[in-house]
Every structure is written in structure tokens, then in C-alpha cells.
Chains A and B, each alone.
Chain A
């Protein structure tokens, strides 16, 4: 069974600085999808970025980018020019391309990011 591990329960960053959130996963599959979701105090789960495992190029979305290391099974999220609105819980998630119960999202336990003004 696949697992997702976020080893940093809490992180802190100064406004305008850069921070990297770590995520590792365990799988025997060669094709899969990885996601970072943001959960602000409103509790809404917001997709930040996604990565297909077959793509070697790291995904980017404005100030958010990932460092996808397939061999190391690592999927870290880099937030550049941090803003106060980036303060939230961040969840890393894995999804198999297979159907049935194997196709569900598997989440890490989250990293709480604080942004200091």
C-alpha cells in the first residue's frame, strides 16, 4: 500500500522569503499523480499544484514550484516570495492511476505553515 509522509508538522517563514515543505512517499507503481493542497483557516481544500510522475519537468504555478525526485520518491513544495495569505496547512497527496480502492487520494498528515510579517 502507498504511504505519504510529511516530516515537518510545523514550519515558519518570514514574509517575502522562500520556504520548502517536504514530502516523501512510498509506492511500487511507476505511474501516479502527486498533489499539494492548501487548507487555510476557512478549511477549504485548495489545489496548489499537481505533478504527473511520467513528466520529468517539475510543475510550477506562479510562486509555487515542486522538486520532484522520482528515484528518491520525494515531492517537495517551494513557496517563493511568501505572503501572509500563504499561512495555512499544506497537505501532500498521492493518487494511483488504477481504479477501484487503489485510485483514492492518500494524504500526508500535513504541515502547518506560519508566515511572519
Chain B
């Protein structure tokens, strides 16, 4: 199993540009989520999905869009990049229920918005 994969590893954008951060998992997890990590802030939830076709907002959803057309993929779209979106983005996935609660993280995407 590849686990949770994210592309790209690093991206530089200009203000106003749009882009999609890709996330895929091959563990058949129903639960997937996107976090952003900023210095001194820990990880904050952007959007999450409890299954294909179902998405919802997290703590900091503004400026981001998601969709979940398959169990495996959960892309994050930046609609119009702003310098405040400079951050490291993590995708995570898990089963739900009982002893399967552990979330597994991708390697992260470092985004710089100029």
C-alpha cells in the first residue's frame, strides 16, 4: 500500500491564481480530511469527507473548495490564492469506529503564495 499520497510537494503561486492540491489513499478509508499547518497554530481542519459524495466544512474553510467523487481521491482547490494561504497542507484518512480510529497523514504540500 502507498498509504496517503499528496502532490505536489511544493508549489509557488501568485496572488489570484488557482490550483488543486491532490490527495489519494489506497486503504479504502471512508473518512478523509484536509488540514493546514501554520507556525504556532498546530493543525487546523479545512474540509473533510465521510464518504464519496459527502463533504463538509471544518474550522477554516474560506477560500477552499473540495469534492469527493471516489473513495480514493479528495482534491483541495484554492479558488483565488492569497498570501494568507501560504502554509503546509496535509491530507489524512481513516476508517471510523472502534479501534480503527487512527488517522494516517500524507507527506504534506508546502504552498507559497506571493
Contacts and interface: CB of A to CB of B under 8 A. Distances in A.
Interface of A: 33, 35, 37, 42-45, 47, 50, 52, 91, 95, 97, 99-101, 103-105, 107-110
B74 interface: no
Interface string B55-88: 0111000000000000000000000000000001
Given A100-B50, A104-B48, A109-B40, A35 B56 contact: no
A109 B45 CA distance: 13
B108 A91 contact: no
A99 B50 contact: yes
Please classify the interface of chain B as helix (H, G, I), strand (E, B), loop, or mixed, using the class held by over half of its residues: strand
A104 B58 contact: yes
B43 A107 contact: yes
A103 B31 contact: yes
Interface in B33-56: 33, 35, 40-45, 48, 50, 56
B45 to A, nearest CB: 5
Contacts of B41: 109
Given A101-B56, A101-B58, A107-B43, A43 B96 contact: no
Given A44-B107, A107-B42, A109-B41, A100 B56 contact: yes
Given A37-B105, A42-B107, A97-B97, 15 more contacts: A43-B88, A43-B108, A45-B43, A45-B92, A91-B43, A99-B50, A103-B31, A103-B50, A104-B48, A105-B35, A105-B43, A105-B92, A108-B42, A109-B41, A110-B42
A104 B101 contact: no
Interface of B: 31, 33, 35, 40-45, 48, 50, 56-58, 88, 90, 92, 96-97, 99, 101-105, 107-108, 110
Contacts of A33: 101
A107 B42 CA distance: 6
A76 B40 CA distance: 20
Given A99-B96, A100-B50, A104-B48, A44 B105 contact: yes
Pairs of residues from A and B, 5 with the lowest C-beta to C-beta distance, nearest first: A45-B105, A107-B42, A109-B42, A107-B43, A33-B101
A35 B33 CA distance: 17
